[in-house]
Amino acid sequence: MAALEEDVRAERELFRDSVRRFIDNEIRPHYEDWEEAEAFPREVWTQLGEAGLLCLDVPEAYGGAGADFALSAVVLEELGRAGMGGLATAVSVHSDVVTPYLLDLGSDAQKEHWLPRMVAGEAVIGIGMTEPGAGSDLQGMRTRADRDGDGWVLNGAKTFITNGIYADVMVIAARTRPEGGARGTSLFLVDTSLPGFRRGRNLRKLGQHAGDTAELFFEDLRLPDDAILGREHQGFIHLIDELPRERLALAVAAVAAAEGMIEWTADYVRERKAFGQPLSSFQNTRFRLAEMRTDAAVTRAFVDQCMDRFRAGTLDVTTAAMAKLSSTEMQWRVADGCLQLFGGYGYMREYPIARAFADARVQRIYGGTSEIMKELIARDMLGKA
C-alpha cells in the first residue's frame, strides 16, 4: 500500500512539472497582456484541452483521463501559485465546479454531447446562480422557467457569471414553481446558441482581470423538456450537494496563491535594501514572513485533510465551508502582509503582488461569502436562529 501511494505521489509530481512547463511556455509570456485586455483569448481553452489540463476526472468514455480530483487540484495550485487568479477561476469553474453537475446529474445524451467537447476545450461551460437582486441568497432568485407544452420557457437574468462571455453551455438555476425556494427550483442545461439567450458586457472587475465575467439575459428562451438537469424542482438540493467540491476547489487555489505570494516576498526582501541593509535583516520583516508562512502551512494541513475526506466521500457541507472560510481569509491576510513588505513597489501594477492582492479580494465573496460560511458553520453547531 505504501509503495502504491508513493507511485501515485510520483505521478502527481510528474504531472505538476508538465503543468508548470505549460504555464511558463504558453501562459506567462502573455498574461500581462490578457490582464490589460481584461480577457484571455478563446483559443487558450483549446490549448488547455490539448495539454490535458481540463476536466481531468471525467471518465475515459467521454474523452477524459478518469483521474482523481487531486490531479485536477494540481492545475489550480500551479495557476494560483503563479499569480494567475483570473485564469485559475475560469478553469476551476469549467473543470471543478460545473462539470460535476453534468457528470452527476446529466442524462447519457447530455454527457455524450457535451463532455468530450468540454475536455477538449472546444466547449466552455459556466453556471448561472447569482442574480442582480439575489447574491448569496439563492432562494430569492427570480429567473423563471415555465412549462409550455412539452418544454420550458426561460426568462430572467444572471450576473457575475464566470466564463459568461465564452460559454457554449450554461447550467442555469431557475424557479419552476411560483413559491420558488428549496422545493421550487430546477437546473437547466442551456445551449447558449439558442434564440433568446443574450450576453451582456464583460464586467470590469477590481481583480482577476484576465478572466471574463458577464451578465446573462434570457428572453422567452425555449428549452426542450430534456434540457432539465437532475430532478425537477430539486435544483436547490442539487446545488447544495455540489457546493462542497466548489468550496474545496476555492480553498486549494487560495492556499497555493498564498504560498506563491510568500515565496515572491521572501525573494524580494533578500534583494531590497533599506538603511544600507537587506529588508530580510529587519526583525519585523522576519517575524511577519514567519507568521504568514505558519498561517499558510496550518491552513494547507487542513485543506489537505479536506481533500482526503472528499476523495473518501466524507466531506460534508460544514467542513467544506470551514475550508473555504479559513483558506480565503488566510489568503487575504497574506496578500495584505506581503504587499506591505514590498512597500511602494507593491502598489505598482507591474509587480505581481499588486495583482495577487486585487485577485485575492473576491475569494472572500464568491462561492459563498465569508459571512455565509460562518452562518453555515454556526447553524451546524447551534441550530438555526
190, three cell numbers: 442551456
- Note the pLDDT of residue 35: 95
Give dist(CA 234, CA 228) in Å, integer. 11
- Note the pLDDT of residue 137: 63
User: Is pTM beyond 0.85 here?
Assistant: yes
Give dist(CA 341, CA 180) in Å, integer. 49
**Among this protein's residues, is 246 annotated catalytic?**
yes
Closest Cα partner for 247 from 307, 159, 187, 206? 307
Active-site residue identified among 35, 246, 271, 329: 246
> Rounded to 10 degrees, what is the CA torsion of 140, 143, 149, 151?
-110
- Note the pLDDT of residue 383: 85
What is the 3 state secondary structure string of 222-256?
EEEHHHEECCCCEHHHHHHHHHHHHHHHHHHHHHH
Contact 142, 156 (CB under 8 A): yes
pLDDT < 50 stretches in the chain:
4
- Note the pLDDT of residue 6: 66
- Note the pLDDT of residue 139: 67
Q: At the topology level of CATH, where does 126-233 sit? A: Butyryl-CoA Dehydrogenase, subunit A; domain 2 (2.40.110)
Considering the four listed CATH numbers 2.60.130.10, 3.30.565.60, 3.30.450.20, 1.20.140.10, the one that applies to the domain covering 236-382 is 1.20.140.10
Sketch the domain layout of the chain as residue ranges. 2-124, 126-233, 236-382
Tens digits of residue pLDDT in 65-119: 999 899 999 999 999 999 999 999 999 999 999 999 999 999 999 999 999 999 9
- Note the pLDDT of residue 354: 97
Q: At the topology level of CATH, where does 2-124 sit? A: Butyryl-Coa Dehydrogenase, subunit A; domain 1 (1.10.540)
